Amino acid sequence: MTTQTLADRAHAAQASAVCHECLVRDTSLCSSLHDHELVALSAIGRRRTVPAGQVITWAGDVVTTFANVVSGALKVTASTPDGREQIVGLLFPGDFVGQMFTDEASLTVTALTETKMCSFPRAAFERELGSHARMERMLLERTMASLDEARERMLSLGRRNAQERVAGFIGQLAERAGLPRDDGGIHVSIPMSRGEMADLLGLTIETVSRQLTGLKAAGLITFAKGERDCLVLDSRGLDLVANPA
């Protein structure tokens, strides 16, 4: 057995162990695979940490890699005809990074916070995808869900007022955050600045700040250590604000 083969097997074993302990094992594409099926995928995966503000993919780049978000948050942006940047989506732990079935990226992906990802070379990942029908189906389902989310955001910008948009955004983050704390609140780490929130929601910074203050005054949310450290006190009430009857 060659030294290279031994090294490859050692890496595969280490990667497989990392997969079993992964924080998004049950929510990412990998959740469609049985433990014994993770071996081949883990062998081609590489963990990487991206600092906040670093661009992962520029629009126009040749698509060479895909990834699963393990922790952190990313923003997906498109350029408007006049050269401005428009946030069109966010990616969180468990989400898939990359545009399948295209040679050139049409969107820019940037880390909002320090983000850990499991990255896969495109060619090797597509080979594995072709061997696992469940993972291929899950990827298709997530792609369709992303399209539905984009349509919902467009409808939201047209039909929701400022208060409903901000409440809906905080509510979505709360859903991502998981189970309530012992005191009943849900801790939400807002991964973006007020300006980025305004861009995403089609509002001004002043309007976003005013609406957050209003939700706090209503006893629906509060802020702990800073403007990004939010605690949802009444998730049902927040939902009623976001989706009035």
Please state the domain extents for the chain: 3-156, 160-242
Please tell me the predicted confidence (pLDDT) of residue 164.
Answer: 94
| Angle at 123 (CA atoms; ends 121, 125), nearest 5 degrees | 65
pLDDT for residue 44 is more than 60: yes
| Single pTM value for the model | 0.81
- Under DSSP, the state recorded for 109 is E
Determine the Cα–Cα distance for residues 16 and 214; give it in Å rounded to an integer: 48
Count of C-beta atoms within a 10 Å radius of residue 54: 11
Q: Report which secondary-structure segment, H or E, holds 65.
A: strand 65-71
pLDDT of residue 245: 72
Q: Is CATH 1.10.10.10 what the domain over 160-242 is classified as, yes or no?
A: yes
Query: 18 pLDDT band (50/70/90 cuts)?
Result: low
Mean pLDDT rounded to a whole number for the chain: 84
Q: Please, which residues bridge with residue 242 across strands?
A: none
Is 160-242 in the same CATH topology as 3-156? Answer: no
CATH architecture of 3-156: Sandwich (2.60)
Per-residue model confidence (pLDDT) at position 20: 65
